[in-house]
Amino acid sequence: MNDLSQAQQAQIVQVLSQRYRTLLEHVRDQLEDVEQQRYIEIVGNVPTDIGDASVGDALADLHVAMIDREIHELRDIEAADQRIKGKTFGTCLDCGDSIGFERLMAYPSAERCIRCQQLHEKTYASENTPTL
């Protein structure tokens, strides 16, 4: 880990581990949650009108989107763990400079320094945006 003290490294690893456990538990809870069965029932039943169908679709989409976001974050943490094991954690993928400790504490799975991340976002901001 580039330019990080042993204490800083340990602190970041602890944050990553705790976040991973929390996310994993939350995803499991969401998948097992009895309350979610109501959404499935709304979607699974023949809607009485178009409003019911729209509400059911929206609730199902929201639930799937929330789980998808959390699974994506789990994968980011797993990738950060691989970078830790490969001793490349804390080094920007683009420029090779160190990613600051403050940035890593705020976003422990960061792959880029702030400068390169901003450039990356500007470059790829419209990549998944549909156009006419």
Question: Which structure tokens are listed for 125?
Answer: 């901001």
Residues ≥6 apart with Cβ < 8 Å to 41: none
| CA dist 61 → 15, 47, 50, 64, 93 (Å) | 30, 16, 16, 5, 33
Average pLDDT estimate for 46-51 = 65
Q: What is the distance between the alpha carbons of residues 23 and 37, in angstroms, rounded to a whole number? A: 21
Q: Residue 81's pLDDT is what?
A: 95
**Cβ atoms 109, 77 nearer than 8 A:** yes
Q: Residue 27's pLDDT is what?
A: 87
Mean pLDDT lowest among 2-6, 24-28, 65-69, 128-132: 128-132
Rounded to two decimals, what is the model's pTM? 0.73
Architecture of domain 6-124: Up-down Bundle (1.20)
Q: Residue 51's pLDDT is what?
A: 72
Residue indicated by tokens 């602890």: 14
